[in-house]
Amino acid sequence: MRRPQRIIESLHARTVHFLLTVGAIVLLGMFPASAGATTPQLTASPASLAFGWVVVGQTETFLVTLTNNGQTSVTVSGITVSSSQVTVSTSGQPLVLPAGQSVDLNVSYTPTEVEAVTKATVEFSNNASNAALVLPVWGVGETSRCVIASPSTVPFGPVAIGANSTVPVVLTNDRSWELTLRAARTTGSGFSVSGASFPLTLNAGQSLTLNVSFAPQSAGTVGGSLFVSDVGLTVPLTGTGTAGTGTAPVYTVNLNWTATTTTGVTNYNVYRANFTSGACSAFPIGSPYGSTASTVMTFTDPTVTNGNTYCYATTAVDPSGESGVSNVVQMTIP
């Protein structure tokens, strides 16, 4: 397979723009959750998780925050999961939450069968007024995604209370036929979506851009999701509300490249590494940082931190495998 070509970069105002010329393919993936709110002493946010359609063998992870809303300490003595396809990562058990405190957990879903619907529960045994807090979880295994989101997960990072941060999310129909998107909604406190009127039809290879925003209502980290029906697409969202009336300038990195001349490319992989020891780290490193369909030659990275330096590269994948990486672009965020 032909290697990616040269990369051109330019920086404009508060947005870092790269031009990449590459050949690449990939497999994208992550889906999120749906939620609600509960009133007892111990609550989970989101109150339920809808992972949507997830490729078999891949893992989707969502942030869940347990909060003690009472005046006395709460001990979570055990966590019971009803399905082996769902896992919960913690810093250990028991979990002790003083009055008014929260703890973040990662709940993951890894489907093992195509078109098999998983309906599971995560039960938190505790000594609060609601002694058995239950988190409903559902997801479906699939062979490949019909609609691809870029980026596939949106971590907003710190945003001041009273401020608002918006990230564009590009949805692309990766099928050879038209698809109907019935609705788009967000879950989680402070998240919202705009940019399109539903229902709408996406033709084969067609894309649309949704604007996902985070306006924190209180201090602390929250999780949520962007969910698009009837295609079962979920994009995990996280954000951290910070005290104060202002926020530092928010920068994003926008990657753009021309299509490879190699035939049969299915999609593009994007890799990111931190700048270390005077040079960018080798690529690829582990899993791709993100992916796009073969018809999408753009990628937005909204998770950069002011003052840090990042390295980016892309690859192309077709049925025979993944190409070598493009030349690496290095960028320092102001």
What is the rounded distance in angstroms from the CA atom of residue 47 to the CA atom of residue 107? Answer: 12
3-state secondary structure of 144: coil
Which residues constitute the domain of residue 49? 42-142
Of residues 243, 192, 240, 188, the one with CA closest to residue 44: 188
211 and 273 fall within a common domain: no
113, 142, 171 - which closes a domain: 142
Tell me, yes or no, whether 255 lies in a domain. yes
Structural contact between residues 314 and 326, judged by C-beta atoms closer than 8 angstroms: yes
Which of the pair, 9 or 2, is modelled with greater confidence? Answer: 2
225 and 262 fall within a common domain: no
Helix, strand, coil shares, percent, the chain, to 5: 0, 55, 45
167 and 237 fall within a common domain: yes
Peptide bond into 98 cis (omega under 30): no
Tens-digit pLDDT profile for residues 281-326: 676 767 788 888 787 778 888 778 777 888 888 888 888 888 888 7
142, 175, 206 - which closes a domain: 142
DSSP 33-86: -------SSEEEESSSEEEEEEETT--EEEEEEEEE-SSS-EEEEEEEES-TTE
152 and 223 fall within a common domain: yes
The domain that holds 80 is classified in CATH as 2.60.40.10
Structural contact between residues 15 and 190, judged by C-beta atoms closer than 8 angstroms: no
Instruction: Give the pLDDT of residue 242.
Output: 87
173 and 217 fall within a common domain: yes
Instruction: Give the pLDDT of residue 171.
Output: 92
Tell me, yes or no, whether 72 lies in a domain. yes
List the structure tokens of 3.
């290697």
User: What is the rounded average pLDDT for all residues in the chain?
Assistant: 79
Contacts of 60 (CB under 8 A, 6+ apart): 29, 30, 31, 32, 51, 54, 108, 109, 110, 139, 234, 236
Tell me, yes or no, whether 294 lies in a domain. yes
Tell me, yes or no, whether 291 lies in a domain. yes
What is the biggest distance separating any 2 CA atoms in the chain, rounded to whole angstroms? 64
328 and 255 fall within a common domain: yes
Q: What is the pTM of this model?
A: 0.58
Tell me, yes or no, whether 33 lies in a domain. no
Tell me, yes or no, whether 1 lies in a domain. no
Structural contact between residues 273 and 323, judged by C-beta atoms closer than 8 angstroms: no
Q: What's the domain count of the chain?
A: 3
50 and 12 fall within a common domain: no
121 and 54 fall within a common domain: yes
List the structure tokens of 258.
């021309």
187 and 270 fall within a common domain: no
133 and 51 fall within a common domain: yes
Which of the pair, 185 or 13, is modelled with greater confidence? Answer: 185
- Of 18-32, 34-48, 113-127, 306-320, give the lowest mean pLDDT range: 18-32
Residues paired with 221 in a beta bridge: 240
pLDDT, average across residues 45-53: 88
Contacts of 307 (CB under 8 A, 6+ apart): 332, 333, 334
Tell me, yes or no, whether 36 lies in a domain. no
Tell me, yes or no, whether 190 lies in a domain. yes
pLDDT at 74 exceeding the cut of 70? yes
Contacts of 235 (CB under 8 A, 6+ apart): 30, 31, 32, 149, 151, 152, 153, 154, 169, 212, 225, 226, 227
Indicate the pLDDT class of residue 11, thresholds 50, 70 and 90: very low
172 and 220 fall within a common domain: yes
232 and 158 fall within a common domain: yes
